[in-house]
Structure 1
Amino acid sequence: MGAWRALRLAFLLGSLLVLLLIIVYWGDVGGFQELKHKSVQPAGCAQIPTGSLPLPASTDRTQAGPPVAVYATTPAASEDIPGAGQKQKEQEGETAGDREQKARKQRVVDVCSGKDSVDFPGRTRAFEQIPIRELDHLIVDDTHQIIYCYVPKVACTNWKRVMVVLSQSLISPSTGKPYTDPEAVPADLVHNSSLHLTFAKFWRRYGSLSRHLMALKLQHYTKFLFVRDPFVRLISAFRNKFGRPNEDFYRHFGSVMLRRYGNVSEGLAVMAAEAFAAGIKPTFHQFISYLLDPETEKENIFNEHWRQVYRLCHPCQVKYDFIGRLETLDTDSEHLLKLLNVDRLLRFPLGARNRTKASWEGEWFSQIPVSQRRELYKLYEPDFELFGYPKPDSVFHR
């Protein structure tokens, strides 16, 4: 009799535990069945006083404000979210921007299916086969049901600012409240990884439910990324990280380039500032040689600033609803904010436009041997093909 009572008690406790897990789990998924449409007017945000640092807001998503409806463009999202993707089409019909998005997304589908005869590592693997550590660029905003894959040197600072405002993850020291104006968010703080919930953090937060939650969010959330001409992005990365003293990048990469390809060993300065003052700094040719060196890949996966987009954002596994380009940043940003139904909440920061232009490719690559240019193109060919950038013939034949 005592064993029977113990069994009944264990069953009751187990049932309560399962019920509790379901409640917690469903709260994290976000309640897909009922989305309430509510417009929120943004408040003003004062400029940050010099020297003051904002304090991170709570990362508990259950404390976030009321959800703002998102209109996803995938068929699955349209079926589960009433009216998804229809608002703009009902008002204006299909626009040139809509047609351009269809073309961009179809091109990704074609390349990933092998129609263009371009193969690359990971093209055919399933999303579940991607290591968790490689999902660190997929930022999730549960409040507005958005997933953004950030690509360094492609307006990612400003898009991270937008994500910080939407997720309310950073407190303004002047107001004591979350930032509401992306332009007021300090640029040097938005790259703090603790501010953003990424898929790479799911295992620590959700354990064995991680992959299931990722799949649900990928199906129902609106997913976007911004891309750029791959070679121009490389030039921009070099100018930003090696064109002026940067202690971290000099120590980890610049000094290696100088030793391997610059015949500099004796008297190599430890500090970037000292080396640059002495005229000892990496050249673009040394940077390209570093990227093409097989030893580089063995030692460490490419740094995110020059890692290929297909390795950062996995476009063959993640069906992106919106693919923006830096070359059409203004119009694409306006289009995307309307798609996300947050255009009344904020504006995309104007910011300083990047000065690296595609027309500079010839000038920068004139010092690179044709054989290395061709090798470099093969390294980044998947990005050229996936996102519709023309093969830079002028670079090969100058």
Structure 2
Amino acid sequence: MGIWHSLRVAFVLGSLFMILLIIIYWDDVGGFSLFPLQDPKHESIHSDSFTLTTTATSLSPRAQTRSSSITPTTTYSSKPIPEKTRGAAQKGKEENKQELRNEETRDNEKWSRVPFNKREQEARKQRIMDVCSGKDAVEFPGRTRAFEQIPNSELDHLIVDDTHQIIYCYVPKVACTNWKRVMVVLSQSLISPTSGKPYTDPEAVPSDLVHNSSLHLTFAKFWHHYGSLSRHLMALKLQHYTKFLFVRDPFVRLISAFRNKFGRPNEDFYRQFGSVMLHRYGNVPGSLPETAAEAFTAGITPTFQQFITYLLDPETEREHIFNEHWRQVYRLCHPCQIKYDFIGRLETLEPDAEHLLKLLEVDNLLHFPSGARNRTATSWERDWFAQIPITMRRELYKLYEPDFELFGYPKPDSVLHE
């Protein structure tokens, strides 16, 4: 009986070990469905509703094509290889090379069908590589660290869509509402109360719902769901998924953030930031209004100069990290650790969006929303910064210089010089 009991224990342990190996080395990451449908009736969606399930579908056609170019692991033998076997192996290598050439040709044909400046896109990616390698002598925190060294809390802007194998890093004030709508439609993560089915039109997705943080699956949530397997799954997805982000002139983005959050009553931003600015730099006699509505009625609101002073105040960074609406893009999306396949710009939003949807092979499923564009323009910079002391302007530029350099935006000389 003792031997039989030992065999049973060994069999159970062996089975568990094999299951663990299968999980760890599971290359078909597209075979996981990481995000179930959500009901828009419940705006407070709990992240605990995420479940890890294995789908019946295999990789998408685009993923299958990409997977065909992955070199399989080779087991080497100490025995001499027969001539016939070597010939077969050589033939296999030639076939693999030909398949890679065919795939490259298909990619080139795909690019050529789209009226888009591919050379400009490649230049954007090359510039990021140059800055991150130190060629431009621009130093900034985290430039040389490895992806594994990035805390999970700083990966909350990387939205994952496993169905189409896409990773989108959203940047507030850079068309992120509409891109989040696109991600909702692609992941089928929100049910329309009208049809009872997932939304199929991005423009129909309510804008207030797409900013619900629990609606999107992000890298920051992986640890909660997958524990020690999190980083392995992230690495697989970063290797095989298409990764993109959209950027914008850093100073124009700041102006847009100020106008949006402090140029009209916003209770959350008034309590958390506006009242702090007024208290520290506003010289407001007496107590501050309790609500944003009262502050606007009384004409007591933060100025753009107070906002810039707040950003430059060392106390601000010590108290808490910059809010996402004015946090630098290099801190939101980690371009030195993640090799993005596509870098779009708000200044060229329409052609970039059109081309990206074709690149993702989802242009037959949806169109990018044609909603109102943010009207903050680069030409406004000189007027907005006119009342800001020149020393503060230069300090602010140093704070956002990495974003200017990484994404190829010209140094705003008209702002930095009298």
* CA drift at 1:6: 3.4
* CA drift at 1:263: 1.2
Structure 2 equivalent of residue 297 of structure 1: 317
Which residues of 2 match residues 41-80 of structure 1 at below 5 A? Answer: 53=41, 59-60=50-51, 62=54, 68-70=60-62, 79-80=69-70
Range 244-253 or range 266-275, more displaced: 266-275
Contact 1:237 1:305 in 2 (8 A): yes
Aligned partners of 2:223 and 2:285: how far apart in 1? 43
Contact 1:138 1:313 in 2 (8 A): yes
Contact 1:78 1:84 in 2 (8 A): no
2:29 paired with 1:29: yes
SS of residue matched to 2:207: coil
Contact 2:203 2:369 in 1 (8 A): yes
Contact 2:28 2:59 in 1 (8 A): no
Q: Could you give the per-residue CA deviations for residues 227-280 of structure 1, whole angstroms, max 9, x where no partner exists? A: 000000000000000000100000000000000010126220111100110000
Aligned partners of 2:117 and 2:346: how far apart in 1? 15
Which residues of 2 match residues 265-344 of structure 1 at below 5 A? Answer: 266-344=286-364
Stretches of structure 1 that go unaligned for 5 or more consecutive residues are 33-51
Structure 1 equivalent of residue 86 of structure 2: none
Contact 2:116 2:351 in 1 (8 A): no
Letter in structure 2 aligned against 1:150: Y
Contact 2:30 2:59 in 1 (8 A): no
Aligned partners of 2:301 and 2:14: how far apart in 1? 65
Residues 227 and 127 (structure 1), Cα distance of their counterparts in 2 relative to 1, 3 Å cut: same
Aligned partners of 2:13 and 2:324: how far apart in 1? 45
Which residues of 2 match residues 191-270 of structure 1 at below 5 A? Answer: 191-264=211-284, 266-270=286-290
Q: Could you give the per-residue CA deviations for residues 128-162 of structure 1, whole angstroms, max 9, x where no partner exists? A: 00000000000011110000000000000000000
Residues 343 and 65 (structure 1), Cα distance of their counterparts in 2 relative to 1, 3 Å cut: farther
Aligned partners of 2:13 and 2:382: how far apart in 1? 68
Q: Which is greater in Rg?
A: 2
Letter in structure 1 aligned against 2:108: K
Which residues of 2 match residues 26-175 of structure 1 at below 5 A? Answer: 26=26, 29-31=29-31, 53=41, 59-60=50-51, 62=54, 68-70=60-62, 79-80=69-70, 86-91=105-110, 93=112, 96-175=116-195
Contact 1:70 1:84 in 2 (8 A): no
* CA drift at 1:80: 2.9
Aligned partners of 1:194 and 1:204: how far apart in 2? 13
Letter in structure 1 aligned against 2:109: E
2:13 paired with 1:14: yes
* CA drift at 1:99: 1.1
Q: TM-score, normalised by structure 2?
A: 0.84
Q: TM-score, normalised by structure 1?
A: 0.88
Aligned partners of 2:350 and 2:23: how far apart in 1? 40
Aligned partners of 1:359 and 1:351: how far apart in 2? 22
Contact 2:111 2:118 in 1 (8 A): no
Letter in structure 2 aligned against 1:30: G
* CA drift at 1:90: 2.1
2:349 paired with 1:349: no
Contact 2:159 2:170 in 1 (8 A): yes
Residues 360 and 72 (structure 1), Cα distance of their counterparts in 2 relative to 1, 3 Å cut: farther
Aligned partners of 1:92 and 1:134: how far apart in 2? 33
Residues 72 and 134 (structure 1), Cα distance of their counterparts in 2 relative to 1, 3 Å cut: farther
Aligned partners of 1:122 and 1:78: how far apart in 2? 34
Residues 178 and 65 (structure 1), Cα distance of their counterparts in 2 relative to 1, 3 Å cut: farther
Q: Could you give the per-residue CA deviations for residues 33-80 of structure 1, whole angstroms, max 9, x where no partner exists? A: xxxxxxxxxxxxxxxxxxx8478797556459775444799xx97833
Aligned partners of 2:8 and 2:242: how far apart in 1? 44
* CA drift at 1:97: 2.4
Aligned partners of 2:354 and 2:22: how far apart in 1? 37
